[in-house]
Amino acid sequence: MRIVGVVVVAMALVIGVVPQFTHCKAVSASSGSTMSMGSSTTMSDSSTATGGATTMGAGTAATQPTPMRCYWTARAAIGVALPLAAAGVLLFFSRRKETCRALAILVCVLGVVTVLLPTVLIGTCQPSSTVCNTTMRPILLATGGLTILIGLITLVRNELTAEEHTAAMQAAS
Amino acid sequence: MRLRSLIALALHNLADNELRSWLLGLCAFAIAAFAVTTVLVVHGAQESLHLAADRLGADVVVVPRGAATQVDGALLMGTVSKTWLPSSDVARIAAVPGVAVASPQVYLESLSHASCCAVSRMFIVAYDPRTDFTVGPWLHQSLGGALGLEQAVGGCRVTVPVNHNIMLYGYTMWLRGKLEPTGTNLDQTLFVTLPTAYAMAHSSRTTAVRPLVIPRDSVSSVMVKVRPGQAPARIARSIADAVPGVTAIVSPQMFAAYRSQISGLLRILLLVLGLLLVLAAAVTAALFAMAANERRRELGVLRALGASCGAVLVALLGEALTLALVGGLAGALVAAVGVGLFHTLLISALGFPFLFPAFGRLAGEVVLGLALALVVVGAAAALPALRVSRQEPADAMRQ
């Protein structure tokens, strides 16, 4: 369980840290762009689709920077990474089968949430060539998928060892 | 000895020596992952170029002299060419004997992160609706009519939904449909008629952050369809002779720079794959030889208890193939998922487009990578396994 705990903490670090540097606003800020890629533009024609986020139809054709979806996905990823890191630390120290089982299920659920953040729950910017789509989204999907896999393997291994332990106890008695 | 017992024995031995199992699994993982990545990228790139040439539908493409690579780049990667042909050349090309249709195209680009453009740096192809044969037939077949003023069709990856308006240079157009994927920049391209492009340029003087400038009486390229029975290569030579200052490229020779780039990458990847295969085979053979030597006595006892040479060989090969199967499958799947997820990033890193395959072909490529891992690991393990399995039980137990 110690190795699993370390791996889960590493996953939590990737989920929490990488999106902070790979959402459009962070990249455009670091490149010194005058008009942020992470900002959508409010448009006068409400039926006109923008290439970016969903801020449309309100008032003037002026540029009013509003954080785009990928920014909020990156922020939400911190919210997933923190409990995941805590689960990893607890997995590192826990010895009881019941605790490990509960933590493995928690890791699975957090993995699912990580996958859902850039796909269903919040999403990323619409243009497929933006950095949030080319880097942040695939990294979140890959680490989320891996986290689910780690959770499932931990759960199965935990159940198998629990059965072996019960069988050994029965044999001893 | 029954098959089930042999499998149980193989699995028991694998669990007993975790380090050896991990190393062998890793070899199979590396082989399958690298093979699948190579096939996905190279085959996908060739497929992509083929589809892009098909999408253009021209037998010959005429571009300004020395601008062939720029036009290729414009069509494949969306880097707009700044070279122009005089529009009078279109009539001269159409007059060349053997030319059925000559249709001009103008390549444009939307502004970068400007409030007047809904999509940043979008590649725009403006075509002549009177002569076009690239998008026109598809429009008639799918939408039942040609594009009018203020109308557009897009590639499959244009982010605006069909039947919505799209605003470029402050000029609003109606997106009527989307084309099939090619894996190239044509998938993110907007196709409009020349009158729409000129209307957009006119409107942009007052509605855009920066006006759209289309040089007067100029076109970016001319798509040529030759008459039935005529050889495109001969017509291309005739066009080059008749019209000075142009390069006529036959369709199969389009994207020549990208083709040579892909061939170069393929050569490097095959070299690395070859080295990887040799290395993996050597590691597998060495590990198996060591394991077989360690277990010489155990296998001798097995033979003395009645197991045949074949049964021992099957048990040993079963171990190798189980590891190759698990490691190879993991490697092939990781490579397929990785290439799929980081597809766009890989395109910008490699500098040429490639199309991610449909599920059927992807499954075939995963099976190919897995088969390669099984063959290499199986072949490398066969020799030491054969040597140990043929040993006399008495000799084996004495050592």
pLDDT digits (tens, 9 = 90+) for B22-81: 888 899 999 999 999 999 998 888 888 887 777 777 888 888 888 777 777 777 776 777
> Considering only CA atoms, which of A125, A89, A116 is closest in space to residue A11?
A89
Backbone torsions φ then ψ of A156, nearest 5 degrees: -65, -45
Percent of chain A predicted with pLDDT > 70: 73
- Give me the residue label for tokens 């137990």: B397
* Chain A residues touching B338 at Cβ < 8 A: 142
The DSSP 8-state label assigned to residue B208 in this structure reads S
Residues of A with CB under 8 A from a CB of B: 33, 35-37, 41, 43, 45, 47-51, 61-63, 126-129, 133-135, 138, 141-142, 145
Interface test with A, best of B18, B111, B120 (most A CBs within 10 A): B120
SS3 track for A109-138 = HHHHHHHHHHHHHCCCCCCCCCHHHHHHHH
From chain A, pick out residues whose CB is under 8 angstroms from the CB of B115. 41, 43, 61-63
Nearest to A51 among B120, B337, B342 (CB): B120
Sign of the alpha-carbon dihedral angle for B30, B32, B36, B39: positive
Query: Residues A157-165: what's their mean pLDDT?
Result: 78
DSSP labels for B309-364? HHHHHHHHHHHHHHHHHHHHHHHHHHHHHHHHHTHHHHHHHHTS--PPPPHHHHHH
Q: Which token pair is B180?
A: 């099939």
Range among B133-137, B139-143, B357-361 rated most confident: B357-361
Inter-chain touch B337–A129, beta carbons under 8 Å: no
pLDDT of residue A160 exceeding 70 = yes
Would you call B113 and A33 a contact, using CB atoms and an 8 Å cutoff? yes
Picking from A117-131, B98-112, B384-398, which range would have the lowest pLDDT averaged per residue? B384-398
Is the pLDDT at A54 greater than 60, yes or no?
no
**C-alpha distance from B78 to closest chain A C-alpha (Å):** 12
Q: What percent of chain B has pLDDT over 90?
A: 25
| CA-closest candidate to residue A63, choices A72, A55, A51, A71 | A55
Answer yes or no: do A49 and B164 touch at CB < 8 A.
yes
Coil vs helix vs strand at B127: strand
Is B261 touching A (CB cutoff 8 A)?
A: no
pLDDT-wise least confident of A25-34, B228-237, B345-354: A25-34
Q: What is the mean pLDDT of chain B?
A: 85
Cβ–Cβ of A126/B159 closer than 8 Å?
yes
Average pLDDT of span B218-227? 90
Contact B167 A45 (CB under 8 A): yes
B165 touches chain A (CB under 8 A): yes
Q: What is the pLDDT of residue A105?
A: 95
Give the closest of B165, B344, B345 to A48, CB-based.
B165
Q: Which of A34, A39, A48, A146 to mutate to test the interface with B (most CBs of B within 10 A)?
A: A48
Across B230-237, average pLDDT: 89
C-beta of residue B192 within 8 angstroms of C-beta of residue B128: no
Does the beta carbon of B188 lie under 8 angstroms from any beta carbon of chain A? yes
Q: Report yes or no: B86 at the A interface, CB cutoff 8 Å.
A: no
Tokens matching residue A52: 């970016």
pLDDT band at B264; cut points 50, 70, 90: confident
Provide the b/e sequence for B160-183 (b: ≥16 CB within 10 Å): beeeebbbbbbbbbebbbbbebbb
Residues of A in contact with B164 (CB under 8 A): 47-49
In chain B, residues with a C-beta closer than 8 Å to the C-beta of A134 are: 342, 344-345, 348
Measure CB to CB from residue B118 to each of A49, A138, A141 and give the nearest one: A49
Q: Looking at the predicted structure, is the pLDDT value of residue A56 above 50?
A: no
Using the Cα atoms of residue B35, residue B37, residue B40 and residue B45 in order, give the sign of their dihedral: negative
pLDDT(A169) > 60: yes
Closest CA to B65 of B217, B253, B243, B226: B243
- Contacts A51 to B, Cβ<8 Å: 117-120, 122, 159-160
Residue B113 to residue A51, Cβ atoms within 8 A: no
- CA dist B283 and B37 (Å) reads 22
- The verdict on B118 touching A (C-beta cutoff 8 Å) is yes
Average pLDDT, chain A: 80
Question: What pLDDT is stored for residue A41 in this prediction?
Answer: 39
pLDDT tens per residue across span A72-99: 999 999 999 999 999 999 999 988 888 9
Closest in A33, A35, A51 to B119, CB measured: A51
To the nearest whole angstrom, how far is the Cα of B354 from the nearest Cα of chain A?
Answer: 14
Nearest CA in chain B to A140: B341
Do A142 and B337 count as a contact with CB atoms less than 8 A apart? Answer: yes
Handedness of CA B305, B307, B313, B319 (dihedral sign): negative
pLDDT recorded at residue A64: 53
Nearest CA in chain B to A37: B113
State the ipTM, two decimals.
0.71
Beta carbons of B166 and A47 less than 8 Å apart: no
- Among A1-5, B80-84, B194-198, the range with the most confident prediction by mean pLDDT is B194-198
Q: How far is B89 from chain A (nearest CA, A)?
A: 36
Residues from chain B contacting residue A63 (CB–CB below 8 Å): 115
Optimal mutation site among A27, A31, A50, interface B, most CBs of chain B within 10 A:
A50
The minimum CA-CA distance between B394 and chain A, rounded to whole Å, is 38
The candidate with the shortest Cα–Cα distance to B200, out of B117, B134, B143, is: B117
Distance CA B148, CA A117 (A): 40
